[in-house]
Chain A
Amino acid sequence: MHSPVNWAVLGLIIERPTYAYDLAQRFEHRYGTVLELSNVGHVYTAIRALEARALIEEIPGTREGRQPKPRYQATAAGLAQYREWLIRQAGEDRKRGQLFVLALQALAHEPQPLLEVMAGYEQAWLSEGMRTPITREPEAPPGSTRAFVEKLIDEEKRLAVGAKLEWIEYARTELAKLLAQMRRP
């Protein structure tokens, strides 16, 4: 299963067994800034995909009544696979970094465009650093999950910015060396 939306929906169901409309709302609240639902029906598609893989199941008896509202819960397999997927994200992050470098190779024969891309990439990361808020008194009550998650997100962003800025400096130095070597007869 490749869709990050499906994995995100599975995570929301693991967190709290629920029905489709609630899932759509929680999805928007939780992941709105990083993942986009193409439409509300996207949640139903995700539910069907998760059910087909036996990662979630309908809670018996919740489809009955005048306004049936089937609720879903995660299966043991769903929980196990979700945990494995989370750990696999380390590899996904690394792949994204590699993708940038491999794509950059297309410009390696021309220093000027390459330097311009590096400058733009550096500015984008600097802007990310500037946008990362200073942690002040938490908006959420101390000890709440939300305050905890906000802190982790900000710190992850700061560390990523620092690592990227160092990498860009390294890349610039190595590029200068490469160009000097290429100039030699």
Chain B
Amino acid sequence: MPVLDRGLPIDDRWTDLADDQDIPAEGAVIVSLERWRTERDALTSRRDAVGVRLKSNQLATEIADDLGSLSLVALEFPKFRDGRAFSAARELRERFDYKGEIRAFGHIIPDQYLFLTRVGVDTVVVPADRVGPAWAHALKEISVAFQPALGSEEGTSLLRRHLKGTVPA
């Protein structure tokens, strides 16, 4: 499935592995949390990067100790209305200082894209028939944010400018 970065499809180097698929000898792979736990040694002994998928009921704390070995964390939206991944992404960035890629997948609508980037998500997996200009547009249509979060600090409201930590003293 197409992967979007800043609204546009990119060449994706990651292979998303189902639990019953063999781990290929080469190439970056994303596996479920369960598989990561049981096959961790096999996965880390390879040369290429590993990422872990979290279901929406799996908290960021579940992989907090492993983040040093992971180049990517993928967060699932089983339904676009299930907003737990917004907190998971933010915890990965703010609480665990995670610097790798955060990817959102599942049922996501363009109208959530700006929020995703503001909680620290880098890339979004979108079904081919839903790729379109709405995604890039979604990042531009609102230029003001009222609360501190992650990502660009442009377009700060009065409140945000005055909340400490967002402006140098």
B is a partner of A: no
Chain A residues in the interface with B (C-beta under 8 A): none
Chain B residues in the interface with A (C-beta under 8 A): none
